[in-house]
Amino acid sequence: ESMAASPGTTGTQAAVFEAVGSELVRKALEGYNACLLAYGHTGSGKTYTMLGENWVDGAWTGTSSSSASVGTPRVAPSGVQEKAPLLDFEEAAAAANSPGSGLLPRTLDAVFTALRQDPAAVCVASYYEIHNERVRDLLAPTRPVEAPCWQDGGSGGQQPDSPTSPGGKRTKVHFHPRFGAFVAGVEEVHCENLGEALRLVAIGSQARTTAATAL
């Protein structure tokens, strides 16, 4: 067994990003699929590594008492359930590379920094979970859209019965011969900047299925 890098117990968030995130951003912008995966038992630091010290239970708590990502849920024009106005995430965007910021804010900041070099570039985001072999759209949590995750079409996966959600929407993992695996039927939201992307991170993270993990 071997590993490319190990920052150790004294490693900084910036060091972790340089060892892991920066290369993934470069490859993703070149057209490759990229994945950041945090694995470990409850309390091992997965959320801290991915989001950082200013996020609690998926919510942006801010670097001052004036910012918070919780509020009265409402439905945005796009159909995405919104838990905070975008203004609340201007501070989150500004703090994306602060010492306590995790992999995801730093990675998104690097992506949007690169996209600014191309005026024609468009960023579209989705956020879903695959839990117990079923896909759930986390940007539309009030509209149940769970469905068995694999369907025939070159995926190599199983083809179970595929019930339609109450809203008539299906979410499944498909396989494209050129682009690889993707999930169809989930909410796709255009993001103009880092703040908009971090707002979606907060909305989806607070809708995730969570439970204690024992290894």
pLDDT digit string, tens, across residues 110-121: 999 999 999 899
| Binding region for ATP | 40-47
| Binding region | 40-47
Task: Please determine, for residue 100, whether its predicted confidence score (pLDDT) is greater than 80.
Answer: yes
The pLDDT value given to residue 184: 82
Task: Please determine, for residue 65, whether its predicted confidence score (pLDDT) is greater than 50.
Answer: no
Q: Which residue intervals of 10-152 are DSSP H helices?
A: 13-16, 22-29, 46-50, 90-94, 103-115
Task: Please determine, for residue 67, whether its predicted confidence score (pLDDT) is greater than 50.
Answer: no
169-179 average pLDDT score:
74
Is residue 178 very low, low, confident or very high in pLDDT (cuts 50, 70, 90)? confident
Task: Please determine, for residue 133, whether its predicted confidence score (pLDDT) is greater than 70.
Answer: yes
The C-alpha atoms of residue 190 and residue 126 are separated, in whole angstroms, by: 9
> Domain spans of the chain?
13-121+192-205, 128-184
The pLDDT value given to residue 72: 33
**What is the pLDDT of the chain when averaged over all its residues?**
76
The C-alpha atoms of residue 2 and residue 16 are separated, in whole angstroms, by: 17
**DSSP letter for each residue of 151-172:** -SSS--S-----PPPTTS---E
Is pLDDT larger for residue 84 or for residue 135?
135
Tokens 């439905």 identify what position? 75
Which DSSP state fits 154?
S
Share of the chain above pLDDT 90, in %: 32
Is pLDDT larger for residue 208 or for residue 80?
208
Distance of CA 168 to the CA centre of its chain: 25
pLDDT digit string, tens, across residues 24-59: 999 999 988 899 999 888 888 898 999 998 887 777
Is pLDDT larger for residue 162 or for residue 116?
116
The pLDDT value given to residue 214: 63
Task: Please determine, for residue 195, whether its predicted confidence score (pLDDT) is greater than 60.
Answer: yes
Contact 196, 93 (CB under 8 A): no
95-100 average pLDDT score:
91
The pLDDT value given to residue 70: 38
